[in-house]
DNA sequence: TTTTGAGTTGTTCGA
DNA sequence: GTCGAACAACTCAAA
């Protein structure tokens, strides 16, 4: 019998439009699908609690898809290098196929493995599929990586169409007996005592099927109004596809194709909404482009001047932010939505991030770490690039003086306060006029609503006007130090 | 090499 | 109440 191919799954937990899987099947050799839980391999960027919950469910889904194709999924725990060596010995495989990753630790490992295995006569091939375009495929006229979104976006548009998405294989040739697999339950990816995942379970359907359903729902219900509604946390105006994309349960090429198709079918009525959504997919590409070319993006400010920024670490303020007790209803609603569902609306992410970095002067890395722990869509490229963008130290970042006013943002994007009422129930009875600024409500209004500020719900932990001035001063200080 | 136009998502202040 | 300017220059990308 021909020696098998090891198909190493990482953040590509799908069977449709999966170039490495397609190539393994096309090779005509038996395939050994494997997922390796390498807990030390990503250093400080080991998956957080919410990501681990998702991973458990997504692996269950992938395994069942592969079983339907006549195969299965081998689960192993340990350092990837060691596990792969063991599997080579057990199966006699002469090839390993993998979908390439872009985090420096992962890409570095893949390159090292490729070199080491080649010496032993083992073929190690890395495939694309995670991005529309590989980071090497896009460069300025000078041959340098892009640092500004708009020219990057135009360059992407000029490259279209990307390759068409590939169909899922109809079967995967298996060995008579797949190697032994760990029991998924033994990996303890799900939380126990306490089980905090109730909100996640009711919100999400991890896996390739859930991903497709989520995208279809978006196309049917929200795409046409995407431009108008995507900033409204009180509506279902966004796709919520981010965790599915992060785990590779759906490919961006398939998203692109489905959206384009829907626009055509719909007589172009969804054109503006669909295009705005596709632009967000290019933002994802841009984040990966940055991470690939600047590997320390997760740790260090892109603009070096921010190294000397006068941050004020403060444990009490950090905890108030994490627990949704800052006294600013929109901020608190967002932080609680995050804790309960593992996800936060994009508009609100900007507001809470701006609040942490500018109102509280807590380093963006601290906020990024909390998001990493709590988000089901925690993605090193998107998380790092976006936090840097908000903090003003990123590539093509928001100017530092652009400081969100959480009250104004609330009135603008949650005009009736429905979002706040859902996530901050202790304020639910407040009239609309005060829902985003309870500290301005007259005493009788507060008591009618059953609110005692400083009791169930706190007063503002910082004064907005003071915090704004302080942030601008800190920025001035940094600039003077740099000069 | 130099020049030129442009750059995701805001807020505040004063006319 | 509405509107435009100030906020801060700076650096990128392309001609």
Longest dimension (CA), chain A: 83
DSSP string, A62-86: HHHHHHHTT---EEEES-HHHHHHH
Quote the pLDDT of residue A163.
Answer: 82
Q: What is the mean pLDDT of residues A399-424?
A: 95
Q: What is the mean pLDDT of residues A103-130?
A: 97
**Amino acid whose CA is nearest the C1' of C7:** A401
Residue A11 has pLDDT above 70, yes or no: yes
Among this protein's residues, is A311 annotated catalytic? Answer: yes
Picking from A240, A271, A293, the residue at the C-terminal end of a domain is: A293
Q: What is the mean pLDDT of residues A284-289?
A: 97
Could you tell me the distance in Å between the CA of residue A387 and the C1' of nucleotide B15?
37
A120 and A144 together in one domain: no
Identify how many contiguous H helices and E strands chain A contains and give both numbers.
20, 5
Look at residue A194 and tell me if it is in a domain.
no
Residue A210 has pLDDT above 70, yes or no: yes
Nucleotides in chain C with any atom closer than 7 Å to protein CB: 7-9, 11-15
Quote the pLDDT of residue A325.
Answer: 98
Q: Does residue A396 approach strand B to less than 7 Å at its CB?
A: yes
A285 and A153 together in one domain: yes
User: Please, are residues A76 and A34 in contact by the beta-carbon 8 Å criterion?
Assistant: yes
A320 and A285 together in one domain: no
Among this protein's residues, is A383 annotated catalytic? Answer: no
Q: What is the mean pLDDT of residues A323-338?
A: 98
A120 and A147 together in one domain: no
A344 and A213 together in one domain: no
Quote the pLDDT of residue A37.
Answer: 98
Could you tell me the distance in Å between the CA of residue A103 and the C1' of nucleotide B1?
37
CATH number at residue A88: 3.40.50.620
Nucleotides in chain B with any atom closer than 7 Å to protein CB: 6-13
How many residues can be counted in chain A? 483
DSSP state of A194: S
Look at residue A197 and tell me if it is in a domain.
no
Provide the pLDDT confidence category of residue A375 given band limits of 50, 70 and 90.
Answer: very high
Greater confidence (A203 vs A480) lies with: A203
User: Please, are residues A350 and A389 in contact by the beta-carbon 8 Å criterion?
Assistant: no
Q: Closest nucleotide to residue A402 (Cα to C1')?
A: B10
A472 and A324 together in one domain: yes
Q: Does residue A405 approach strand B to less than 7 Å at its CB?
A: yes
Could you tell me the distance in Å between the CA of residue A398 and the C1' of nucleotide B12?
17
Could you tell me the distance in Å between the CA of residue A48 and the C1' of nucleotide B10?
32
Q: Closest nucleotide to residue A396 (Cα to C1')?
A: B7
Among this protein's residues, is A370 annotated catalytic? Answer: no
Q: What is the mean pLDDT of residues A182-196?
A: 96
User: Please, are residues A23 and A97 in contact by the beta-carbon 8 Å criterion?
Assistant: yes
**Which residue among the candidates A266, A314, A346, A405 is catalytic per the annotation?**
A346
Look at residue A299 and tell me if it is in a domain.
no
DSSP string, A341-404: HS---HHHHHHHHHIIIIIS---HHHHHHHHHHH-TT--HHHHHHHHHHHHT-STTPPPTT---
Quote the pLDDT of residue A482.
Answer: 63
A62 and A140 together in one domain: no
Among this protein's residues, is A339 annotated catalytic? Answer: no
A99 and A235 together in one domain: no
A237 and A321 together in one domain: no
Look at residue A202 and tell me if it is in a domain.
no
Closest CA to A181 of A47, A49, A37, A39: A37
CATH number at residue A261: 1.25.40.80
Q: What is the mean pLDDT of chain A?
A: 95
**Amino acid whose CA is nearest the C1' of B9:** A347
Q: pLDDT tens-digit profile of A153-178? A: 999 999 988 788 999 999 999 999 99
Residue A293, classed as helix, strand or coil, is: helix
Picking from A236, A269, A293, the residue at the C-terminal end of a domain is: A293
Could you tell me the distance in Å between the CA of residue A447 and the C1' of nucleotide B9?
37
Q: Does residue A331 approach strand B to less than 7 Å at its CB?
A: no
**Which residue among the candidates A94, A266, A271, A283 is catalytic per the annotation?**
A283
Could you tell me the distance in Å between the CA of residue A332 and the C1' of nucleotide C1?
31
Q: Closest nucleotide to residue A386 (Cα to C1')?
A: B8
Q: Closest nucleotide to residue A152 (Cα to C1')?
A: C13
Q: Closest nucleotide to residue A148 (Cα to C1')?
A: C12
Could you tell me the distance in Å between the CA of residue A141 and the C1' of nucleotide C15?
11
Among this protein's residues, is A283 annotated catalytic? Answer: yes
Residue A18 has pLDDT above 60, yes or no: yes
A370 and A273 together in one domain: no
User: Please, are residues A408 and A330 in contact by the beta-carbon 8 Å criterion?
Assistant: no
Look at residue A172 and tell me if it is in a domain.
no
* Partners of A75 in the β-ladder: A35
Q: Closest nucleotide to residue A390 (Cα to C1')?
A: B9
Residue A481 has pLDDT above 80, yes or no: no
Q: Does residue A155 approach strand B to less than 7 Å at its CB?
A: no
Residue A268 has pLDDT above 90, yes or no: no
User: Please, are residues A109 and A214 in contact by the beta-carbon 8 Å criterion?
Assistant: no
What's the token pair of residue A434? Answer: 């005060």
**Which residue among the candidates A364, A370, A372, A423 is catalytic per the annotation?**
A364
Q: Note down the domain range covering A52.
A: 5-129
CATH number at residue A413: 1.10.579.10
A348 and A374 together in one domain: yes
Residue A483 has pLDDT above 60, yes or no: no
Burial label for A188, CB within 10 Å (0-12, 13-18, 19+), is exposed
Q: What is the mean pLDDT of residues A359-381?
A: 97
Could you tell me the distance in Å between the CA of residue A446 and the C1' of nucleotide C1?
29
CB within 7 A of strand B (chain A, 273-302) = 280, 283
Look at residue A196 and tell me if it is in a domain.
no
**Which residue among the candidates A271, A311, A373, A405 is catalytic per the annotation?**
A311
A273 and A333 together in one domain: no
Greater confidence (A480 vs A117) lies with: A117
Look at residue A168 and tell me if it is in a domain.
no
**Domains contained in chain A, number:** 3
Rounded distance between C-alpha atoms, residue A242 and residue A469, angstroms: 35
Q: What is the mean pLDDT of residues A422-448?
A: 96
Provide the pLDDT confidence category of residue A1 given band limits of 50, 70 and 90.
Answer: confident
Could you tell me the distance in Å between the CA of residue A231 and the C1' of nucleotide B9?
9
* Cβ atoms < 10 Å from Cβ of A26: 9
Picking from A255, A273, A293, the residue at the C-terminal end of a domain is: A293
Look at residue A184 and tell me if it is in a domain.
no
Quote the pLDDT of residue A330.
Answer: 97
């Amino acid at each position: 019998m021909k020696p098998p191919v090891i198909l190493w799954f990482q953040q590509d937990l799908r069977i449709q439009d999966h170039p490495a899987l397609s190539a393994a099947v096309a090779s005509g050799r038996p395939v050994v699908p494997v997922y390796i839980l390498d807990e030390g391999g990503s250093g400080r960027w080991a998956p957080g609690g919410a990501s681990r919950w998702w991973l458990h469910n997504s692996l269950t889904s992938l395994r069942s898809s592969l079983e339907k194709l006549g195969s299965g999924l081998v689960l192993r725990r340990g350092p990837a290098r060691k596990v792969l060596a063991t599997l080579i010995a057990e199966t006699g495989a002469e090839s390993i196929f993998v979908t390439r990753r872009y985090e420096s630790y992962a890409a570095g490992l893949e390159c090292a493995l490729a070199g080491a295995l080649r010496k032993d006569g083992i073929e190690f091939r890395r495939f694309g599929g995670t991005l529309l375009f590989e980071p090497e495929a896009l460069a300025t006229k000078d041959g340098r990586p892009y640092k500004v979104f708009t020219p990057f976006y135009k360059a992407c548009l000029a490259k279209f169409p990307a390759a068409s998405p590939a169909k899922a294989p109809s079967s995967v040739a298996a060995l008579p007996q797949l190697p032994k697999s760990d029991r998924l339950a033994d990996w303890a990816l799900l939380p126990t005592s306490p089980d905090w995942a109730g909100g996640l379970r009711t919100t999400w359907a991890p896996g390739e099927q859930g991903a497709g359903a989520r995208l279809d729902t978006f196309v049917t219900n929200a795409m046409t109004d995407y431009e108008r509604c995507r900033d409204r946390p009180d509506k279902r105006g966004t796709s919520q596809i981010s965790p599915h994309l992060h785990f590779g349960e759906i490919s961006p090429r398939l998203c692109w194709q489905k959206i384009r198709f829907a626009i055509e079918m719909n007589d172009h009525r969804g054109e503006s909404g669909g295009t705005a959504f596709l632009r967000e997919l290019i933002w994802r590409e841009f984040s990966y482009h940055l991470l690939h070319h600047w590997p320390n993006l997760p740790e260090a400010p892109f603009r070096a001047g921010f190294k000397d920024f006068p941050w004020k670490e403060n444990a009490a303020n950090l905890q108030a932010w994490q627990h949704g007790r800052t006294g600013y209803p929109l901020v608190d609603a967002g932080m609680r939505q995050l804790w309960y569902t593992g996800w936060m609306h994009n508009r609100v992410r900007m507001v809470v991030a701006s609040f942490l970095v500018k109102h509280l002067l807590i380093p963006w890395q601290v906020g990024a770490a909390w998001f990493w722990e709590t988000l089901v869509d925690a993605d090193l490229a998107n998380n790092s690039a976006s936090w840097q963008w908000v903090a003003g130290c990123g590539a093509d970042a928001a100017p530092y003086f652009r400081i969100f006013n959480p009250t104004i943002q609330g009135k603008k994007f949650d005009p009736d306060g429905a979002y706040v009422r859902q996530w901050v129930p202790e304020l639910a009875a407040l009239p609309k006029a005060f829902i985003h600024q309870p500290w301005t409500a007259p005493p009788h209004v507060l008591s009618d609503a059953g609110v005692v500020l400083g009791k169930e719900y706190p007063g503002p932990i910082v004064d907005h006007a003071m915090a704004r001035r302080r942030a601008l001063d800190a920025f001035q200080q940094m600039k003077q130090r740099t000069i």
